[in-house]
Amino acid sequence: MQFSSIIFLASLAAPAIVTAGPIIQNQKRSGGWFESCLYSTLDYYVLNTDCGSFHPQIDLNLYIVNTNGEMSVGGGGFGSSCDGCSLASAVLNCNCADANGNKSPVGLNLDASLAYDGNGHLLFN
């Protein structure tokens, strides 16, 4: 029993993070995760951060939805109709399709709804 507990705890360790996007040094400002985490990268739809001794990541595609060309928090699956995503400070910028399939640039301020709990977790409010 003790051996399986050790394996379970080892599986909770943070995986190594390999990123393909540019590293953005976050500037101190009020609000959310952006103030707490020094560096952030975007790898496809996964936000990777450096928050001191923790390196949390979160799959934005599980929490962000595209509705007629506008991204918002709640739902998920924006990756099926948005592409070309990048980070500019705390803003997620993508090209998203409207109901007719026409794509246009749209941004979502992640700092308004994404929080860092101080214990290695990024959470949407």
User: What is the per-residue pLDDT across 13-26, written as a single tens digit (0 to 9) for each?
Assistant: 333 333 344 444 44
pLDDT at position 70, please? 97
Range with the lowest mean pLDDT among 42-51, 60-69, 112-121? 112-121
Q: What count of other Cβ atoms lies within 10 Å of the Cβ of residue 55?
A: 16
pLDDT at position 108, please? 95
Residue-wise pLDDT for 78-89, tens only, equals 999 999 999 998
Residue 35 corresponds to which amino acid? E
Q: What count of other Cβ atoms lies within 10 Å of the Cβ of residue 9?
A: 9
Q: Are 79 and 62 in contact (CB under 8 A)?
A: no
